[in-house]
Each structure stands twice: as C-alpha cells, then as structure tokens.
Amino acid sequence: MLENLLCAAIAILAVWGSLALAYMLLMSLIRPKKNERHLLLLSSEGSAEDTVERVSFMLSRLSVSGEMGYTVIAVLCDPADAEKRRALAAAFGHEKRVIVCSKTELMEII
C-alpha cells in the first residue's frame, strides 16, 4: 500500500516537473528578446483593498513569469478617489513599476 502511494507521488511530481519544464521552454521562446517596454492597465473598480490585492497579484505573476523587468503596471484611478490613491501609495509607493494615474495623466505619460 505504501509502495503504491510512493509511486503515485513520484508520478505526480514527474508530471508537474515536465509541465514546468515545458512552460519554461515556451516562455523563453515567446518572451520578447529586446528591451521593449510593456504597459499593463488595471482599473481601480471595487474597494481600495481589492485594488491593492489585484496589483499585488499582478506583481507576483509578473515576477514569477520573468516579465517584471520590462512591464509597467498603470492603475487607472480617479483623482477624486483619495482613499484608493492613498492605499495604493502606501502599498506600492516604493515600487517604480506601479503608476497610479487618471486617464488624462496616462495620456500625458504615453
């Protein structure tokens, strides 16, 4: 019984390893080779906590996939929504890859 469990665990780990290897190979082929900059737009719908969680998730995802070096996240937030801007500045004020801006500010940046 224990031997069958061990064989199943090894088989599952082998499948996960092969999937990870295939993903890494595809990402190395698909990922841009030049220093092209990418802009990821996120809307600030919902509460301030939801927006901070969404930006944090995207930063984690970009970090894991290796796209952090050339991707900038722009969070569209109304100038009148001071609570969200404060929450985003407190959470990501040190992160230079996160820009909190309105639609007009984004058009000026681009």
What radius of gyration, in Å, describes the C-alpha atoms of the chain?
20
pLDDT digits (tens, 9 = 90+) for 2-46: 889 999 999 999 999 999 999 988 887 876 666 667 777 887 787
Q: The whole model's pTM is what? A: 0.64
In contact, 45 and 6? CB cutoff 8 Å: no
- pLDDT mean over 79-87: 85
**Average pLDDT value for residue range 41-57:** 84
pLDDT at 105: 86
